[in-house]
Chain A
Amino acid sequence: MKIVYDENVAKAPASAEASSGGVATLTREEPVEKRHLLTAAQMAFFVTYGYLRVENLVPDELNQAVLEDERRWMGTKFDFWYLSENIRKVFELPQVKGLLQGFLGENPIFDHSFIHHVRAHNTGAQNWHADSIIDARPFGFDVQAFYWSHDAPVEMGPTMVLPGSHMRKINISSISRYKNFRGQLQMPIKAGTITFFHHGIWHCAQPNFTDTDRFVFKLRLRPGQEQVRLFNMDGYDSPEVLDILKKGSMPGDAPWQGDFDRLDSVQHARLWRFVTGDPKIDTSFETALSRMHLD
């Protein structure tokens, strides 16, 4: 797996530019071992809830090196990726590349990156929003990887998400009139964690009530190929994996959806058909897709 730079989208780091002509790449292409590839259970969770938190991905030594870079270059926004060799090393780790390949394929395209910084004692929260422009792809998706170089307990303001909101079309902050939702989720974070977000998930940065500045690095990648059967397909139709999706399709699992939760279940079931390449598998509420002979 190697990250590809489209010169019409973003420049490549100098090290990559020097090593290739035309489309620049981050590293030499190395095959991802199957044991590092995104699992079917992980993909089922992502399809259902729109995010995936994976802990213990990055060793402490590298976490510390990145944190020092984040403090040194805290205001560099989009340029941090180019300044910090350490942050690029995080995304060269085989266990990280395996997850990205499972979502996006062997040649994900660099979209943009950003170093997010919430100062100590900043008590204001960000409005609820989804990033970027309305996405017109029916099922294809970008992934935003949020890498945490330090512990971020809830009082430090790790990003809040609304599980299951990723297929709901909104336009940036068009939902921001609302401040709270039943089922909103703020996950305490351990250093070395990456939270992978579907591009459409509703989210907001939270206040930092501690004495310490809070950082998170975001890398947005586009798929380099059709996102069909890219993850480890072992057990994708097993009861254990299907239970993840079926639990998410049950009324009340995402209480903010109200009586429209059955419509969300159809959207997620269609996404599962897409990523598995299985046109018959059906995890929708009351197997609505099969009952009505729908794609």
Chain B
Amino acid sequence: MAQLRQQLLVFNTSNSSPESRVVAWALYDGALSQDKQQMQSGDSAEPPYRSVLAAMQDGWRVMQVPQMPIFVTGREFDTGHLPFEFVLERMVEVENSI
């Protein structure tokens, strides 16, 4: 009997638009069994989709859109984590091994 598992895409984009280019990414695949290796740091030079919109067009659902950054007077040029994070999910069927 088939069961559902969640796949998670974490994208950071060049600006706040879902149409903008993906600049950082990760896939966490709940359909992979524990003995299989998940996406590893540094294992791909290109993202699985060029944009959030392209992933949506392939069936991914957007779970999170980023808040707009706030620029505090006097600290406008401070930098840290990447600011435009989208989180997407897809549910996929896996065969029940029991």
For chain A residues 180-196, which have a beta carbon within 8 Å of chain B? 180-182, 184, 186
How far does the Cβ of B68 sit from chain A's closest Cβ, in whole Å? 12
Residues of A in contact (CB 8 Å), total 35
- Measured in the bound complex, the distance between the Cα atoms of B12 and A260 in whole Å is 12
Given contacts A160-B42, A184-B42, contact A267 B80 (CB under 8 A): no
Residues of B within 8 A of A259 (CB): 14-15
1/0 per position for B44-81, CB-CB distance to A under 8 A?
Answer: 11010000000000000000000000000000111111
Chain B contacts with A in 13-33, Cβ cutoff 8 A:
13-15, 20-27
Contacts of B47 in A (CB 8 A): 180, 182
Interface presence of A15 (CB below 8 A): no
A169 located at the interface, meaning its Cβ lies under 8 Å from any Cβ of chain B in the complex: yes
In the docked arrangement, what's the CA distance between A206 and B44, Å?
Answer: 12
Q: How far is A184 from B43 in the complex, measured between Cα atoms in Å?
A: 10
Complex CA gap A126/B55 in Å reads 27
Given A258-B84, A259-B15, A179 contacting B41 (CB threshold 8 A): yes
Given A178-B10, A256-B23, check contact A267 B41 (CB 8 Å).
Answer: no
Secondary structure of the B contact surface, majority rule: loop
Within 8 A of B (CB), among A106-130: 123-128
The answer to whether B82 has its CB under 8 Å from any CB of chain A is yes
Q: Is B40 a contact partner of A267 (Cβ separation < 8 A)?
A: no
A145 to B44, CA, bound (A): 27
> In the assembled complex, how far is the CB of residue B4 from the closest CB belonging to chain A, in whole angstroms?
23
Q: In the complex, how many angstroms separate the beta carbon of B67 from the nearest chain A beta carbon?
A: 15
With known contacts A255-B23, A256-B23, A179–B81 Cβ distance under 8 A: no
Which residues of A sit under 8 angstroms from B82, Cβ to Cβ? 175, 178, 256, 258, 260
- Check A256 against B79 for contact (C-beta < 8 Å): no
B interface with A by C-beta (< 8 Å): 10, 12-15, 20-27, 37, 39-45, 47, 76-84
Across the A-B interface, the 7 shortest Cβ-Cβ residue pairs: A258-B14, A179-B26, A125-B41, A125-B40, A266-B77, A160-B42, A178-B24
Cβ contacts A to B, 12 pairs, < 8 Å: A124-B37, A169-B80, A175-B81, A178-B10, A180-B24, A180-B47, A255-B21, A256-B24, A258-B13, A258-B21, A260-B82, A263-B78
Inter-chain pairs besides A180-B24, A182-B22, A263-B77, 19 sampled, C-beta below 8 Å: A124-B37, A169-B79, A178-B82, A179-B42, A179-B43, A180-B39, A181-B24, A182-B21, A182-B23, A182-B45, A204-B41, A204-B42, A206-B42, A207-B40, A255-B21, A258-B13, A260-B82, A263-B79, A266-B77
